[in-house]
Amino acid sequence: MDSWPKVSDGYASNLACCVDMTELWMHGMKNYDCHVFMRLILHAALTEVSLLFQTICSIMLDVHKLHELENTVAIIMYNLEKIFLPTFFDSMKHLIVHLPYEARLGGPV
């Protein structure tokens, strides 16, 4: 996700105002705000992760693409950390960083 989705003025509430960082909770979102959050923001974040796993789990691995993934996986994780609360991440979520390297060493599964 290179940038936040661009929406017209008045399309949805300012979702940044709905986040309480002291309690790590989202509040004050209306139904349409939840729809925008799930449809635009989560979709953009999870699409990058899906493409990562699709490339790693393919039948034939392209070494050049795996080198590119090794460079971009940190950016993907950074984008996820911008969207999700810190409590979403534990040590298992950060193992994604090592998957392109392991796929390059081990080959297709």
> Count of domains in the chain?
1
Look at residue 4 in the predicted model and tell me its pLDDT. 56
Domain assignment present for residue 3? The answer is no
102 found inside a domain: yes
This prediction's pTM: 0.60
- Rounded Cα distance between 103 and 82, Å, is 27
When comparing pLDDT for 61 and 24, which is higher?
61
Q: How many Å apart are CA 13 and CA 26, to the nearest integer?
A: 13
Confidence check: pLDDT of 1 > 50: no
Mean pLDDT computed over every residue of the chain: 77
Residue 8 lies in a domain: no
Task: Please give the sequence-ordered ranges of beta strands (E in DSSP) within the chain, or none if there are none.
Answer: 19-20, 25-26
Domain with 75, as residue range(s), is 15-106
Task: Say if residue 74's pLDDT is above 70.
Answer: yes
